[in-house]
Amino acid sequence: MDGNGRWARRRGHPASFGHRAGVRAIKRVLDACEKLGVNVLSIYAFSTENWSRPRAEVRALMRLFHETMQREIEEMHRRGVRIVVSGRRDDLSPRMRERIEEAVKRTAGNTNGVLNVCLNYGGRAEVVDAVKKLVADGLAPDQVDEAAIASRLYVPGLPDPDLIIRTAGERRMSNFLLWQSAYSEMLVTETLWPDFDEADLKAALADYASRVRRFGIVIGLALARPWGAYVLVLILAGLALWEFIGLSEGMSSRAPSWLLFPLGGFFAYSGTLLKNIDVNAVLALALVGGLAAFLFVPGRRQGLGRWAMGMAGALYIGMPFNYYLLLYSSKPNGLVWALFTIFAVVMCDAAALLVGSRIGRHPFFTTISPHKTVEGAIAGVLGAVLVMLIGVSGVMGFSPWHAIALGLLVGVSAQLGDLVESQMKRIAEVKDSSHLIPGHGGVLDRLDSILFPPILVFFYVTMFHIL
């Protein structure tokens, strides 16, 4: 809630005058949230860094918090709003802690919305305190996951924020809800907080409603461990296998669905859900049973080609998903490995497109993809290296040399995957694998770059024992 001080100075008053005006803005926004159906509102009232402000201003703020809490408890209770407070309470005065406990206890049973007051709050401090609780609870390393950390945050159970609004033109996160805001949308408005009203909130929500949440079902299902990842693989692999049947027909030998789908599904889950089934036995059955079946089904004159196409398609699509699931299920950083592999591929594609379209001069595999350039390919590899440096070295703390090596593997294999699918489409004489995604082709067109990297990443991290 930025801009209280500037609002006051423009009117020739001290900062405390602006803070009192800011409290009135909170009441306006709470009223608007109730009208507009916003069920949870978090307000950043005082940060762990705000203690460095002038002592007089800090004292005035604390008096204001105490007065407001005391004055508004009954009103919030009457409206059915539950008050929760996020932050370190030990640094607050006994009177303030008492008032907080009273407000939280008094409104605990209310169900008509939640007001989360972030008081003496810092996003990093919250994560540190959550980790301290993990240690105090005696959790073993393999028991520490995102759910374990989330359950030890200041107010566990609150949904992650969909939208974060910064007033007064500020454009940084300022240590606010760092864990919870991983996929939140951001909106910056030049309006100073004391002037913020229902019209501003409506405009912010309208802007939010017009956006496409790009992480969508992919991240949502992946985070719903463990079944979400398996469902996601089932959907994506199933659609990609269906598209492969059409491509294979254009490549002269239509892959049989009765062989392609079961075998592709088995390969996708062979290291996780179906790990107790012998892969050699399945391959032997596919060899003997699959070839023998063409003696009795239509198309036996092309039996060997159709069998080979079915086997190739099942491996081409099913096996990469298997390695994503293997990465994903690895402890303790499985989800991080899987996500950063995908992020590296996305950065690779974006960098290759941006640089190739602007400064690319030297053609690269023109017979398969005439728009690719050497400059774009190099930029794509460097983009993948950058993401892996952030994820592998920065987030997980492994050697930068491992990050660079993995970035090179991802960058090269992602572009090879794109070229392989482009070659298939050229042979089949089609532009896209399907028209399933209007304006963007098919699922396989979106997945082609991410199919090869997880295989190389998994073997690298297991070889060097850095999972």
Tell me which residues are annotated as active site: 2, 50
Tokens describing residue 83: 């008050």
Tokens describing residue 80: 């059915």
Q: State the residue for tokens 């660079």.
A: 404
Distant-in-sequence contacts of 152-159, Cβ < 8 A, 24+ apart: 153/86, 153/126, 153/179, 153/180, 154/85, 154/86, 154/87, 154/121, 154/126, 154/129, 155/84, 155/85, 155/86, 155/116, 158/40, 158/42, 158/84, 158/114, 158/116, 159/40
Residues 85, 108: Cα–Cα separation, whole Å = 12
For the four alpha carbons of 420, 268, 241 and 376, in that order, the dihedral sign comes to negative
Q: How far is CA 378 from CA 55, 364, 396, in A?
A: 54, 11, 26
Residues in the chain: 467
Those residues whose C-beta lies under 8 Å from the C-beta of residue 113, and which sit 6 or more positions away, are 33, 34, 38, 39, 40, 41, 79, 80, 81, 82
Q: How far is CA 24 from CA 4, 19, 197, in A?
A: 11, 9, 10
Residue type, 155: V
Reading across the β-sheet that carries 114-121, which strands appear in turn?
A: 40-47, 114-121, 82-86
For the four alpha carbons of 47, 48, 54 and 57, in that order, the dihedral sign comes to positive
State whether residue 174 is helix, strand or coil.
coil
Those residues whose C-beta lies under 8 Å from the C-beta of residue 365, and which sit 6 or more positions away, are 372, 419
What is the 3-state secondary structure of 72-129?
HHHHHHHCCCEEEEECCCCCCCHHHHHHHHHHHHHCCCCCCCEEEEEEEECHHHHHHH
Residues 422, 433: Cα–Cα separation, whole Å = 9
Q: How far is CA 64 from CA 21, 27, 53, 360, 425, in A?
A: 11, 14, 15, 60, 67
Neighbouring C-alpha atoms within 13 Å toward the C-beta of 427: 15
